[in-house]
Amino acid sequence: MAKKSVRTKPTTAKARRATNGVGMQEPQDGYQRIDKFEPEGVERISAHYDDILEAIGEDPKREGLLRTPERVAKSLQYLTHGYDLDPAAILRKALFKEDYSQMVLVKDIEVYSLCEHHLLPFFGKAHVAYIPNGRITGLSKIPRVVDAFARRLQVQERLTNEIRDCIHDTLKPLGVAVVIEASHLCMQMRGIQKQNSVTTTSAFTGIFLDDPRTREEFIKLISAKLH
């Protein structure tokens, strides 16, 4: 005898949610939006944006702007949350002894940061390599270090050096190489308004400085389309 098929009602978003151990609502499909903000900071920043909106000729009481100061405050907290992170500690969480002394390269790491001069975004890609000297770190820690420094008010030159120095000082490798390619909205949507301009910065230590062949290998690898 054939089994009868039973049709069930589609599961609603509300029905899919389950409460986790800390009382937060969590969908069954594994996706959860988690927003963590510091309330006092949001309040302080929001208060200033009411004045800013008025200063540029807007009406903060207009419907579309009623929650704009709060949204901007939360956005700024997220975009600068790198101040609350310790990049060296991120690397130390996954240090392993390993007899590997060839180049480790993580390329095409997305970079999003804020120019400290105009508070406008600059974004692009970072390429980070190091040559281990008895210790390696988890591959995901390299992009996390990039994010920890990028999510601050920055200039690209300092960002490049900070990533290099953190990896060099923490891992003690034979050498570190960092290249960042980025577009700056402060040059594209204002000022000189050069939409196709891209800024490239580089920073090297150890064997990447001393051995032109190693540096050339790094440049070739970040330029190659291997995937």
User: Which residues are paired to 97 by β-bridges?
Assistant: 135
Both tokens assigned to 59: 């009406």
Catalytic residue among 156, 162, 166, 168: 156
User: Which residues are paired to 17 by β-bridges?
Assistant: 27
State in Å, rounded, how far the first CA of the chain is from the last one. 53
Q: In this predicted structure, what is the pLDDT of residue 227?
A: 67
> What average pLDDT does the segment 74-78 reach?
95
> What CA–CA distance (Å, rounded) separates 152 from 148?
8
Among this protein's residues, is 166 annotated catalytic?
no
The 10s digit of each residue's pLDDT in 147-190 is: 999 999 999 999 999 999 999 999 999 999 999 999 999 999 99
Asked if residue 8 has pLDDT above 80, the reply is no
Asked if 214 and 105 count as a contact pair (C-beta separation under 8 A), the reply is no
Asked if residue 94 has pLDDT above 70, the reply is yes
Average pLDDT, the chain: 88
Catalytic residue among 43, 58, 116, 157: 116
Catalytic residue among 26, 70, 118, 217: 118
Token look-up 């009602």 returns 9
Kindly report the pTM of this predicted structure: 0.84
Positive/negative CA dihedral, 48, 50, 53, 54: negative
Asked if residue 60 has pLDDT above 90, the reply is yes
Which alpha helices (DSSP H) does the chain contain, by range? 13-16, 39-55, 68-79, 87-92, 141-150, 156-171, 185-188, 207-210, 212-223
Helix and strand element counts for the chain (H, E): 9, 9
Catalytic residue among 98, 117, 157, 216: 117
The 10s digit of each residue's pLDDT in 14-48 is: 433 333 333 344 555 555 666 678 899 999 999 99
User: Which residues are paired to 169 by β-bridges?
Assistant: none
Both tokens assigned to 8: 């069930």
pLDDT band, very low/low/confident/very high, at 116 (cuts 50, 70, 90):
very high
Domains and CATH numbers, the chain: 39-79 (1.10.286.10), 87-223 (3.30.1130.10)
Among this protein's residues, is 157 annotated catalytic?
no
Phi-psi region of 134 (alpha: psi -120 to 50; beta: other; left: phi over 0): left
**In sequence order, what are the residues at sequence separation of 6 or more whose Cβ sits closer than 8 angstroms to the Cβ of residue 117?**
155, 186
Among this protein's residues, is 184 annotated catalytic?
yes
Asked if residue 64 has pLDDT above 70, the reply is yes
Tally of residues, the chain: 227
